[in-house]
């Protein structure tokens, strides 16, 4: 074959691959638009993943209320407590390396603090911290007070040192229950787990997130803290409702939760990278990069405790079951339980549903954290599953509009 003919063949193959319906990705832009006005959302982004491939994605709305900068699928959104699954994955890496065990206690890692620790806190294990069964109380007044004091520390240390200060300051706090007794959603518990990871890895949690997860998985848009840059609207900035109107919250001291509790929820990324993360988890080790063994990933996904059904703020899990950084719910649109988490720093909201049985996932993000936004993301998840998920008859799963008796819908 002559060079000219060979080149023509190659061009034809390339054109086929680009234009082939199998290679096409469905745009969700038009589908998302009606949700903005209905649920009071400045911006909305979503993606659907099958077998590790993003088959549909889209973004609609504006980065900042009152301005006309249109949001794109490459724009960064805050994921709040969805960060917890990343922290749990770091713990799994250290367990595989032998630097930690799931049964390692707080006192094992910080023996110099043992005498000042509440006896029950000494016995709390890494696995219990990651499953919210350590006995540490949910966020309370003392937790809020210490977060305020974290801004006042003048030692000039790095975040791992500031985190250690928080561990010392918290050490004497009496837990709400015995370790392993029951579920209690605790951001302090995840911060403590992050400090344990830092001590044994001899590296800050922030460095570990980039070097061990973001970079290997190719999450190029991923970062920590406010999703926009100081002085710029270069991301879908978060919003609070002030006097009945959405107020943009720019990067700065109040653009996110305090960085000292980063392991509990300060990551951000684009919806496309969030989808990549979801697809990697849905594969449970079938696809690279193999940064942990499949059995470790499976352990993180496996529920260990039931969550009592209750009304909670958007981004806080309240029913179903919980594993290590992942919840499990049975939404009325799915034929079986799926992995789930929600995340919010009060100004943003992100949700992720992962179905390893079908190698399928849905991710949705918005830049406001209201209860109405929560309703909108739930409604959109149902619509996306109806369009892209496994087709099933009512006999296979739950009847439309009904909830399972034990975990109901995927509401946090």
> How far is it, in rounded angstroms, from Cα 252 to Cα 347?
13
> How far is it, in rounded angstroms, from Cα 404 to Cα 407?
6
How many CB atoms lie under 10 A from the CB of residue 103?
Answer: 11
- Quick one: average pLDDT of 354-372? 98
Q: What is the pLDDT of residue 315?
A: 80
Q: What is the share, in percent, of the chain residues with pLDDT greater than 90?
A: 83
Distances (CA, A) of 139 to 79, 119, 233, 261, 357: 19, 20, 31, 12, 34
The predicted-structure confidence for 84-111, as pLDDT tens digits, reads as follows: 999 999 999 999 999 999 999 999 999 9
Secondary structure of 142-156 as H, E, C letters? HHHHHHHHHCCCCCC
Using alpha carbons only, what angle is made at residue 246 by residues 79 and 39, rounded to the nearest 5 degrees? 70
Which of the pair, 64 or 315, is modelled with greater confidence?
64
Q: What is the pLDDT of residue 391?
A: 62
91: its two tokens = 């713990």
How, if at all, do strands 245-249 and 327-329 pair?
unpaired
The predicted-structure confidence for 291-334, as pLDDT tens digits, reads as follows: 999 999 999 999 999 998 887 888 888 789 999 999 999 999 99
27-388: in CATH 3.40.710.10: yes
**DSSP state, 299?**
H
Q: How far is CA 30 from the centre of its chain?
A: 26
Cis peptide before 289 (omega within 30 of 0): yes
Sheet with 26-27: list strands edge to edge: 26-27, 53-61, 43-50, 360-366, 349-355, 338-343, 327-329, 320-322, 305-307
Secondary structure of 119-144 as H, E, C letters? HHHHHCEHHHHHCCCCCCCCCCHHHH
Nearest to residue 52, comparing CAs of 264, 278, 271, 270?
Answer: 278
> How far is it, in rounded angstroms, from Cα 306 to Cα 321?
4
How many CB atoms lie under 10 A from the CB of residue 197?
Answer: 26
Contact 291, 279 (CB under 8 A): no
- Quick one: average pLDDT of 254-263? 96
Q: What is the pLDDT of residue 196?
A: 98
Contact 328, 255 (CB under 8 A): no
Residue with structure tokens 């998985």? 217
Q: What is the pLDDT of residue 318?
A: 76
> Does the pTM of the predicted model rise above 0.95?
no
């Amino acid at each position: 074959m002559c060079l000219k003919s060979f080149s023509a063949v190659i061009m034809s193959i390339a054109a086929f691959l680009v234009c082939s319906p199998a290679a096409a990705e469905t745009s969700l832009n038009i589908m998302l638009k009606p949700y903005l006005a209905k649920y009071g959302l400045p911006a909305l982004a979503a993606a659907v993943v099958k077998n590790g491939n993003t088959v549909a994605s889209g973004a609609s709305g504006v980065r900042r209320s009152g301005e006309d900068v249109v949001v794109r699928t490459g724009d960064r959104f805050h994921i709040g407590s969805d960060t917890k699954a990343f922290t749990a994955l770091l713990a799994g890496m250290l367990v595989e390396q032998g630097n930690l065990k799931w049964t390692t206690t707080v006192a094992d890692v910080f023996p110099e603090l043992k005498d000042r620790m509440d006896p029950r806190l000494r016995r709390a294990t890494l696995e219990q911290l990651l499953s919210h069964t350590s006995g540490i109380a949910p966020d309370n007044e003392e937790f809020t007070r210490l977060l305020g004091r974290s801004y006042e520390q003048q030692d000039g240390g790095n975040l791992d040192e500031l985190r250690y200060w928080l561990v010392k300051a918290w050490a004497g706090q009496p837990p709400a229950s015995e370790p392993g007794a029951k579920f209690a959603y605790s951001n302090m518990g995840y911060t403590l787990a992050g400090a344990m990871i830092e001590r044994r890895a001899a590296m800050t949690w922030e460095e570990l997130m980039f070097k061990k997860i973001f970079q290997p998985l190719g999450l190029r848009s991923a970062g920590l803290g406010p999703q926009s840059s100081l002085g710029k609207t270069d991301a879908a900035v978060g919003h609070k409702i002030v006097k009945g109107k959405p107020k943009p919250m720019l990067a700065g001291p109040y653009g996110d939760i305090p960085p000292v509790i980063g392991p509990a929820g300060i990551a951000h990324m684009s919806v496309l990278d969030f989808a990549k993360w979801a697809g990697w988890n849905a594969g449970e080790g079938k696809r690279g990069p193999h940064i942990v063994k499949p059995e470790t990933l499976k352990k993180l996904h496996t529920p260990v405790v039931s969550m009592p059904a209750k009304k909670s703020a958007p981004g806080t899990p309240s029913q179903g079951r919980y594993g290590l950084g992942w919840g499990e719910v049975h939404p009325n649109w799915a034929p079986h339980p799926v992995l789930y988490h929600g995340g919010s720093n009060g100004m943003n909201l992100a949700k992720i549903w992962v179905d390893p049985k079908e190698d399928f996932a849905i991710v949705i993000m918005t830049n406001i954290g209201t209860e109405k936004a929560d309703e909108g993301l739930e409604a959109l998840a149902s619509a996306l599953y109806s369009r892209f998920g496994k087709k099933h008859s009512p006999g296979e799963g739950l009847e439309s509009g009904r909830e399972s008796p034990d975990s109901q819908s995927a509401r946090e």
